[in-house]
Structure 1
Amino acid sequence: MKVIAVNNNKGGSLKTTTATNLAGVLAAEGERVLIIDADNQSNVTLSFGKNPDEFEVSLYDVLIKNLKPADAVVNVYENLDILPANDDLIGFDFEVIGKSKKYKAPFSIMKKTCSSLRKEYDYIFIDTPPSLSLMVGNVFAFADSVLIPFSPESYSMRSLVKVLGTIDDFKEQFNPQLRVLGVVGTMVNFQTILHQEVMQETRKYCTESQIHLFDSYIPRSIRFASSVAYEKVPATLAKKSTDIAKSYFELWKEIKENEQAR
């Protein structure tokens, strides 16, 4: 469980929020944590009040230009580093696909270039783009497990089924050790009938598919944005504690308990 990818191919499911806040939980507990930002939108960087355009090197330079990953890592909080992304990452898929002779194992680039980071950190989180792309394939090849944030809106179940199917297919071909850590409900409002019905349907599907659906969930709130906007850190690292931050501490506790029970 050392390298955890946070993935859903549907946008707006709180992937970045989940990756940064769980990283904040662990950093607060004294663990050495790295977040790899594998999304060219650079939301991880922005979550810590940093401007991605100011970084001279990024994940792209590590993957394509053979820069040592440690040379691109930036410290953003005590015990917490990031490997940032910027607009250069937009060109990753085209660069690799366009040079098939050079990149003979296109899904293994991140594993090859970033494996040295494993010994430097207790945990590594990877924030992924909302797509099933070459970049996501590289993340799946490098990761030990996948945590799936799931917002219970219309058509969300269809997206979840696709993600789980993709993980199964990818695992069989490229990373037999990869497994699904579990599904976590995000932006949940149990006062709406839609959310009640979708979460009930999701629990049934996860049970039948032997996928863990965490009892902990992340409620709908504007406080995530407020924390980033005013304190330049995720909610779990903000000075003022909130119910939102508490929900991520509870989620991590449940993740650990579930892992110990395996």
Structure 2
Amino acid sequence: MKVIAVNNNKGGSLKTTTATNLAGVLASEGNKVLIIDSDNQSNVSLTFGKNPDEFTESLYDVLIEELTPSSAVVNVHENLDILPSNDDLIGFDFEVIGNNKKYKTPFTIMKDTCSELKKDYDYILIDTPPSLSLMVGNVFAFADSVLIPFSPESYSMRSLVKVLGTIDDFKAQFNPSLHVLGVVGTMVNFQTILHQQVMQETRRYCAESEIHLFDAYIPRSIRFASSVAYENVPATLGKKSNDVANSYYELWKEIQKNEQTK
């Protein structure tokens, strides 16, 4: 569980919020943590008040230009570093697909270039783009486990089924040790009938698929955005503790408990 990918191919499921807030939980507990931002939208950098356009070295340089990974790492908080992305990452898929002589195993580029980072950190979290792309394939080939944020809206179940199917495919072909930590509800409002129904359906599906659906969930709130806007940190690293930030502490406790019982 050293390298945790946070993935859902549906946008707006709080992937970046989940990755950064869990990183905040881990860092606050004294762990050395790295967040790899594999999404060209660069929201991890923005969460910590950094301008991604000012980075001269990024994940793209590590993957394509063979830059030593530690050279691109940026410290953003005590015990917490990021390996940032920027607009250069838009060209990753085209660069790799267009040069099959150089990239004979296109899904293992991240694993080949970034594995050395494992020795420097207790945990590595990877924020992923909202797609089932070559980049996400690289993340799945490198990660030990996948956490799936799930917003209970219309058509969300379809995305969840696709993500789980893709993980199974990559596990079989590229990373036999990859496993799903579980599904966590995000932006949940149990006062709405739709959310109640979708979460019930999700619980049934996860039980049938032997996938853990966490009891801890992330409520719909503006606190996450407020913390980023006014403090330039995720809510779990904000100065004022609140119930919304505590939801990620509860999630991490449940992740640990669930992993220990396996």
SS at match of 1:183: strand
Q: Does 1:182 align with 2:182?
A: yes
The aligned runs of 1:38-187 (5 Å cut-off) are 38-187=38-187
Query: Aligned partner of 2:115: which letter?
Result: S
Whole-angstrom CA distance in 2 between matches of 1:190 and 1:126? 29
Distance 1:242 1:42 in 2: 26
Q: Alignment partner of 2:130: what SS? A: coil
Q: Residues of 2 paired with 1:27 and 1:70: CA distance?
A: 18
Q: Secondary structure at the match of 1:213?
A: coil
Partners of 1:81 and 1:223 in 2: CA distance: 23
Equivalent residue, structure 2, for 1:217: 217
Gaps of 5+ in 2: none
Residue aligned with 1:245, SS: helix
Q: Residue type matched to 1:74 in 2?
A: V
* 1:90-110 deviation digits (Å, cap 9, x = unpaired): 000000000001100000000
Q: Say whether 1:207 aligns with 2:207.
A: yes
Distance across 2 between alignment mates of 1:119 and 1:29: 19
C-alpha distance after superposition, 1:106-146 (max 9, x if no partner): 00000000000000000000000000000000000000000
Q: Quick one: distance in 2 between partners of 1:244 and 1:16?
A: 15
Distance 1:125 1:244 in 2: 20
Distance 1:239 1:253 in 2: 21
Three-state SS of the structure 1 residue aligned to 2:146 is strand
Report the count of equivalent residues: 262
Give the TM-score taking structure 2 as reference length. Answer: 1.00
* Identical columns (%): 84
Q: Tell me the secondary structure at the aligned position of residue 18 of structure 1.
A: helix
Q: Which amino acid aligns with 1:16?
A: T
SS for the counterpart of 2:62 is helix
Q: What is the letter of the counterpart of residue 34 of structure 2?
A: L
Deviation at 1:257, TM superposition (A): 0.5
CA–CA distance in 2 between the matches of 1:173 and 1:56? 34
| Cross-structure match for 1:20 | 20
Provide the C-alpha distance between the structure 2 equivalents of 1:78 and 1:166, rounded to a whole number of angstroms.
35
1:242 Cα deviation (Å)? 1.3
Deviations 1:136-167 (A, max 9, x none): 00000000000000000000001100100110
Distance in 2 between residues matched to 1:210 and 1:87, nearest whole Å: 38
Matching of residues 183-198 of structure 1 within 5 Å: 183-198=183-198
CA displacement at 1:9 relative to structure 2: 0.1
CA distance in 2, matches of 1:163, 1:96: 23
Work out the CA distance in 1 between the residues paired with 2:243 and 2:224: 11
SS in 2 for 1:108: helix
